[in-house]
Amino acid sequence: MNIWESINSSWQVLYTNKMRSGLTILGIVIGVWAVVFLVSFGRGHEANITSIFESMGANAIYITSASNMTQGMSGATGSLTMEDAEALANSNRIPSVDLVAPISEKLSKVVYGNENKNVDIMGATPEIMQIISYPLAAGDSISELDVKRGANVAVIGSQTATNLFSTEDP
């Protein structure tokens, strides 16, 4: 049997069994479409999640004190200190650590003029801006000189700026 006889025989079988042939083709098309859809859907979500982690600092590790998570349990040893942060930042002790930014966080009331709002206040060193890479809409970030001088400076979020400073530039 040569190739032309095989092709002719195949066409005759397909033509004779139109419904079976049509359903087989439909099944193949739906199967291929489903695989392409799921792969592209998965890659889209992977790209979205990757961009979210990169904006937070994909290689950042957040360390919190055990006492923050074990309130009321005996054996909690207290909170992390600046000395702990300096020890983590020491390249002789941990050479793979590039930046350390200790953060202190507290929910508090902020008042300006007639406006007062409860906001999440975070105290941090200037390295935090390199780690989390949030873009600034206006102004400057906290510098090392501000920390050394003990300057009264703050970086505020856009929502807080809108809520407290509705008519003027913060």
* Per-residue pLDDT tens digits for 65-79: 655 444 444 444 557
* Residue 116 DSSP class: E
Amino acid identity for residue 120 in this structure: D
Q: What is the pLDDT of residue 70?
A: 47
Q: What is the pLDDT of residue 75?
A: 46
Question: Which range in 31-35, 100-104, 134-138 is most confidently predicted, on average pLDDT?
Answer: 31-35
Q: What is the pLDDT of residue 76?
A: 46
Q: What is the value of pTM for the model shown?
A: 0.50
Q: Which long-range contacts link 82-91 to residues 24+ away (Cβ below 8 Å)?
A: 85/125, 88/63
Q: Reduced to 3 states, what is the DSSP secondary structure of residue 127? A: coil
> Distance (Å, rounded) from C-alpha 170 to C-alpha 167?
9
Amino acid identity for residue 131 in this structure: I
Q: Which neighbouring-strand residues pair with 121? A: 106
Whole-Å CA distances, 46 to 32, 49, 50, 52: 21, 5, 6, 10
Q: How many CB atoms lie within 10 A of CB 143?
A: 13
**Domain-wise residue ranges, the chain:** 3-56, 103-170
Does residue 10 carry a pLDDT above 90? Answer: no
Does residue 143 carry a pLDDT above 70? Answer: yes
For the chain, the average pLDDT equals 81
